[in-house]
Homo-oligomer: A and B are copies of this chain.
Amino acid sequence: MDNPLPENENAKGGWKQDPAGVQANILEIATMVFAEHGLSGTRIDEIAARTRTSKRMIYYYFGDKEGLYARVLEAAYAKVREGEASLDLDGLPPTEALSRLVTFTFDHHRAHPDFIRLVMIENVHQADYLQKSDVIRRVNTAAIDRLAAIIRRGEETGDFCHGLDPVALHWKISALSFFNVSNRPTFSALFGTTLFSETAQRRLRDDVAAMVLASVRKTP
């Protein structure tokens, strides 16, 4: 929405050029358009039309369509993981921490459908562009580290069973949170929209948290 830049008061007086602002604007619009139509479905002309600048500028700053797509993907991952990092769970008892993490993830995915769609699209492309970006890989291991910390604490307190795999746990949380957004169109086309009302979603979310919790809890 707002760009993290020196004030651009191009309302009246002298200023007119604003490279960083233009780039940010392109990236923002491109994110929306790629998320809407996919890589091959997107027309650069549509992006250009919706930016405050021109097609020429897109090529000037981003090289080509794939370059722009790659940058969009990176920016999207960065933004989302940044949001997740704001969550501080270290103070909480492990059960509570995990429960919070799950509900947060569920809500967070729901709040960022464009990100989900980009990931879907990237999966259709066999993660070709993701693999090329080491930036993204680095950011994501942080998520696993956070989970591993919670698991360790849970083992120590005796709340969790031993030998839990943080990656597998992350997989479960992701699956239940991701599918909810990614497959909403087909799912509601087939089975109605009841499950996607606010109240049903809250119940579902709590249910999901309970499922994940049950899967790590020490059994008698």
Contacts and interface: CB of A to CB of B under 8 A. Distances in A.
A186 B127 CA distance: 5
Contacts of A120: 120, 123-124, 182
A207 interface: yes
A213 to B, nearest CB: 10
A157 interface: no
Given A189-B137, A211-B215, A214-B215, A167 B182 contact: no
Contact of A214 (B40, B172, B211): B211
Nearest to A126: B185
A119 to B, nearest CB: 6
Instruction: Work out how many copies of this chain go into the complex.
Output: 2
Contacts of A121: 124
Given A167-B195, A214-B214, A190 B130 contact: yes
Given A40-B40, A171-B204, A183 B119 contact: yes
A208 B175 CA distance: 11
A149 interface: no
A214 B214 CA distance: 8
A190 B39 contact: no
A179 B168 contact: no
A194 interface: yes
Nearest to A139: B190
B123 A186 contact: yes
